[in-house]
Structure 1
Amino acid sequence: MKRSIVLIVIVLVLAGAAVYQNKGKHNEALAASGDMLPKPGYTAPTLELPNLTDQVTAIGGKREKLLMVNFWASWCWPCEMEAPDMQALSEKYGDKLELYGINATSLDKERQAREFVTEQKLKFPILMDRDGKATDLYKVNTFPTTLLIDSNGIVRERIGGVISKSKWEAIIDKWIDVQEEQHTGT
């Protein structure tokens, strides 16, 4: 009995020491598990989806710019409200931000999605989630849902619903500044 208690105490002391040693390492990204949302601080899932001309585009992983991934559907009126702001953000930050719209095609009609893109005059790349795997992988259950992913492939922001263009600008500016500081080492 005494041996069991001593072993339990040793295990608890070692576990406490491990927690203490790793307490300050908040910059290291945690890998997203299947049960968790891809959320700030976690690695964004990587995937490949076809665009409107069926060319495959890779999402996630390391890249040179910030990545904004916007999940939407043509029947979603908040998505319609947000579309002009997404286009404006793409135009404003095109040299420092990649923006991809992912249509939840498995929950939408592709013809209507294509009409939406034309009506909204969207110029940024639109990807088609025909089998719903991207929506499932990113655990999207609200439209629109937008993620901002840094150049290391780490989710920095996850927004469900619509926020103003000025709020997006503040968020994007913040993460552009963070990335520039990381690259210059200041």
Structure 2
Amino acid sequence: MVKQISAALFLLILVGFIVYNEIDKENEASESTSELTEYDVSGNTEQEGTAMTAPNTPGGLEVGDQAPDFELETLDGETIKLSELTGKKVILNFWATWCPPCKVEMPEMEKFHQEYGDEVEVIAVNATGTESNRSDVASFIEEEKYTFPIVLDEELKVNNDYQVISIPTTYFIGSDGKIQEPRKVGPMTYDYMLEVKDALE
């Protein structure tokens, strides 16, 4: 009788141990899949993608928040101060030359800027602190002939203020200086920008 109880206890402990191990393995698997995968694309800008992280990644400023003010230098050596644009609608885009999805949306941004630049300010904040060389930014913009303002975030302070955790990320600021539409993570289309333009006040 004692041997039967001992055997049953041993079997129960063994089953419990196996179940515990399986649950632990599943937890590790789910944790590893939920972690962001980072890609070094600094040497290859031809890679395809939609965004550097998933669009539903938590974080970032919310609708109704006051857009943090900043003053950054443009490629032309002038400065842009966000608070001086109060009264205008602003599309504030965060990007870098090494980001393939950013390159996908920039022609769309240029088309929008050419047609609606008098209604909406399109400002592209380059994450200059992540670039291998500042001159790469100027060369890229000149080569592609983009005309919307490019400002240089050398110390990534503005990226941090806007809690940008992946690029491209875009914020939509109303004439009241507040974020009026949910941020967009991933490349924008021309049609998407049209929708946002009409939604902003």
* Larger Cα-atom Rg: 2
Q: How does 1:71-82 map to 2 (within 5 A)?
A: 71-82=94-105
1:61/1:153 contact within 8 Å kept:
no
Amino acid of the residue matched to residue 173 of structure 2?
Answer: I
Corresponding residue of 1:31 = none
Match of 2:193 in 1: 168
Say if 1:62 and 1:53 are closer, same or farther in 2 by CA, change over 3 A.
closer
Whether 1:116 and 2:159 are equivalent positions in the alignment is no
Aligned residues with identical type, % of pairs? 32
Partner SS state of residue 119, structure 1:
helix
RMSD of equivalent CA atoms: 1.5
Contact 1:63-1:152 within 8 A present in 2 as well: yes
Q: What's the counterpart of residue 173 of structure 2?
A: 149
- What is the correspondence of 1:45-56 to structure 2 with a 5 Å cutoff? 45-56=68-79
Deviates more, 1:46-55 or 1:59-68: 59-68
Question: Deviations along 1:153-179, whole A, 9 cap, x unmatched?
Answer: 11122111113221221121222xxx2
Q: What is the rounded CA distance, in whole Å, between the counterparts of 1:103 and 1:156 in structure 2?
A: 22
Contact 1:104 1:135 in 2 (8 A): yes
Task: Give the C-alpha shift of residue 42 in structure 1.
Answer: 0.8
Read off the aligned partner of 1:128 and give its amino acid letter.
Answer: L
Distance change >3 Å, CA 61–CA 139, structure 1 → 2: farther
2:188 aligned partner, one-letter code: I
Deviations 1:130-159 (A, max 9, x none): 111011111111111111100111112211
Q: CA contact under 8 A between 2:65 and 2:178: conserved in structure 1?
A: yes
Q: 2 CA distance for matches of 1:118 and 1:150?
A: 29
Measured against aligned partners, the alpha-carbon deviations of 1:17-69 in whole angstroms (never above 9, x if no partner) come to xxxxxxxxxxxxxxxxxxx6322111110010011122221014762220111
Question: C-alpha separation between the residues in 2 aligned to 1:97 and 1:126?
Answer: 15
The match for 2:130 is 107
Change (3 A) 1:159 1:90: same
TM-score, normalised to structure 1, is 0.71
Distance in 2 separating the partners of 1:172 and 1:127: 21
**How many pairs are equivalent?**
141
Extract unaligned runs of 5+ from structure 1: 1-35, 180-186
**Displaced runs of 4 or more, over 6 A:** none
**Could you list the runs of 5+ residues in structure 2 that have no partner in the other structure?**
1-58
Distance in 1, matches of 2:84 and 2:64, equals 14
